[in-house]
Amino acid sequence: MIRLENILTPGRSLVNVPGGSKKRVLEQIASLVARDLSDLDNQDIYESLIAREKLGSTGFGNGIAIPHCRLAGCSAPISALLRLDTAVDFDAIDGAPVDLLFVLLVPEAATDAHLELLRQIASMLDRQDVRERLRQAPTSDALYQVVVDIQNGQ
């Protein structure tokens, strides 16, 4: 099983990210990942995330979105976690604006292991105590540490 802390880094865990709009947030995600992983193209990431959103919103409910997509040139799963300074409309299933985004990018030839990662993320974020801990994390490092602690049963 792939563990979330192995695909998420402290540098891709950010608090107080300016929101604005769903499009702007997806642009910021693409920039963040491309800046961290130079072999991936910012525009390719953005277009893949937008294409996935056109299939149906990744707004999960309870202020959570899990933007995800398959990505050419991606050799292993990559994740990012953003807490927005102001919630944005993400066309979530419950209509609530989104302030927590857990991003998952997987290789184009996604496998059952990648679906399991998506299930892990959704299951973790379905817990109210986890959402509260993520929303209360004072720093980006603390935000990352919440995920590590949850994965370790703390």
User: What pLDDT, in 10s, does the model give residues 49-70?
Assistant: 999 999 999 999 999 999 999 9
**Encoded tokens for 139:** 């720093």
One of 12, 22, 68, 114 is an active-site residue; which one? 68
For the segment 99-123, the average pLDDT, to the nearest whole number, is: 89
The pLDDT of residue 2 is 78
Q: Which CATH class is domain 4-145?
A: alpha beta
Instruction: Express the helix, strand and coil content of the chain in percent, nearest 5 each.
Output: 45, 25, 30
Q: What is the rounded CA–CA span in Å between residue 105 and residue 72?
A: 10
One DSSP character per residue, 36-101 reads H-TTS-HHHHHHHHHHHHHHS--EEETTEE--EEEETT--S-EEEEEEEEEEE----TT---EEEE
* Residues contacting 72, CB < 8 A, separation 6+: 44, 48, 108
Checking if the pLDDT of 1 tops 80, the result is no
> Where are the domains positioned within the chain?
4-145
φ/ψ of residue 104, rounded to 5? -135, 120
The pLDDT of residue 66 is 95
Name the residue type at position 40.
Answer: L
- pLDDT band at residue 146, thresholds of 50, 70 and 90? very high
φ/ψ of residue 49, rounded to 5? -65, -45
Tell me what the pLDDT averaged over the chain comes to.
92
Active site residue 114: no
pTM for the whole structure:
0.93
